[in-house]
Each structure stands twice: as C-alpha cells, then as structure tokens.
Amino acid sequence: MSKQISPFTAFLNIFPEVELPISLGENTHMEFSRRNDPIPGDLIQAFIVANEKVPSDEFTEHIACFRVANLKDFQAVVYWRAGLMDYRYILATFDRKGVQIDSRVIAGMFSDGEKVTTSVATIDKDWGISVASGQSDAVTGVFDPEGNTLFSLEIMPDGTIENE
C-alpha cells in the first residue's frame, strides 16, 4: 500500500531547498524556470491564487523558485508571479498544515505607464532580506537616481515577515 502525500507536501516538493544567502535579480526567474518543474494548476489555485492580494487572470504565470532549507516551525517559499508589465518575486510562509502565515513581494519589476520600478533582493543566512529598488522612465528608459530606495525585511521565528 503506497503512502499518499498531502497536497501541501506535493506543493512544497516543487520548490527545491536552498541554503541562504540567495539573491534575486531581474532575470533570475529564467534559471528557476529551466531547472524546476512547473507548478500544477490545482496547487497554484490552492496555495498561491487563494492567498494572493492581486487577482490572477488567464495570462498570469507562476514559477516555483525555491524553498528555504532547514526550517522547522514553518515553511518559506519564493515564487515568481508574472502579469502584464508586472513581475514579482513573492516570499510566502506557511504553517505545517499549509495555511499561509504571511507573504511579501521582495523583488521584481512593474510599471505604472510612466515609470518602471525594478527591485532586487538578497535573503541572508539570518533571515534578513535586503531590497534595493530603482526607477527609470517607461518611455525613454532613462534611470532616475532620485527614485532609488533601500529597505530591509526579516522573516521572524513565527513565520511573519516584518519591516526591519
């Protein structure tokens, strides 16, 4: 008799475990897309779309990036969500039963039609997340140094994601 795995375990198994630190840049998702299996639609619906604050449509794409290794009380995964001129790396934490604890956009690119904002992130060994963002003109592509921002987040021991 074979042992049935839970849908949450099947979801987690799509995300390869990585040791920290890890950095996410503008095109890092392409490497994850080449290496990782696609996330089945039923698992996207159950563990991603059901928890997203931004609605998905038929053009929205989700790519499994990675799962943070060696966590005991919760699980943390990063996935890439692509929509029209809106690409996001999302860090999501879940309790042991698969209930989402928290989620945050930690890197990506989006445009409001006038500006293009691009963010990169590094998750450190101590669960700190450093995010750097910059803006450029959507039409000319000219970089605007005044649009740069730096901020820090931290994954807390209970799985919440807080501003540092």
Residues 103-127 pLDDT 10s: 999 999 999 989 999 999 999 999 9
Residue range(s) defining the domain that contains residue 36: 7-163
The domain tally of the chain equals 1
pLDDT band at 54 (very low <50, low <70, confident <90, very high): confident
For residue 2, the model assigns a pLDDT of: 59
Q: Using CA atoms, how far apart are residues 104 and 114, in angstroms rounded to an integer?
A: 24
Q: Which of 74, 76, 84, 100 is nearest to 19 (CA)?
A: 76
Residue 151 lies in a domain: yes
Give domain status of residue 1, yes or no. no
- Judged against a pLDDT cut of 60, whether residue 1 lies above it is answered with no
What single-letter DSSP state applies at residue 23?
A: E
* 85 lies in some domain: yes
2 falls within a domain: no
**Angle, alpha carbons 81-82-84 (nearest 5°):** 145
Rounded CA separation 42/113 (Å):
33
Assigned domain for 42 exists = yes
Residue 83: band (very low, low, confident or very high) from pLDDT cuts 50, 70, 90? confident
pTM for the model: 0.92
Residue 62 lies in a domain: yes
